[in-house]
Amino acid sequence: MGDFHYLGWDNVNPDHTCIKRSCEAASARKLTMVENSELRKAGLKVTLPRVKILQMLDSAEQRHMSAEDVYKALMEASEDVGLATVYRVLTQFEAAGLVVRHNFDGGHAVFELADGGHH
């Protein structure tokens, strides 16, 4: 199984189930691969801030998030992404069709993933 070490398959039990930590790491890698693919399909270069923000929107408990909500969630997760970067990336995501912006009175805006279902 040495050839599969780089894929995270080196920690497989005899019954072919992953050890918990390896499964979590493999799941995180798969999730990141999905986000990388989404960014590329949208014509965007894959960067760490874009991946982190896309993951945050995808995993958020609340469906609609403001740029400030995304920034606070990233800070709570100890991610080093500035507020200006969050605004810039969300605007890029909107232009690429990855997110939908909902504007409210007073200039407040929230974002949701474009593939979100119903309201």
> What's the rounded Cα separation, in Å, for the pair 6 and 107?
47
Task: List beta partners, residue 65.
Answer: 111
Q: Residue 119 is which amino acid?
A: H
> What's the rounded Cα separation, in Å, for the pair 106 and 58?
26
The residue among 111, 106, 115, 114 whose CA lies nearest residue 68 is 111
Is 102 known as a binding-site position? no
The residue among 52, 45, 49 whose CA lies nearest residue 31 is 52
User: Could you tell me which residues are annotated as the binding site for Fe cation?
Assistant: 118
User: Could you tell me which residues are annotated as the binding site?
Assistant: 118
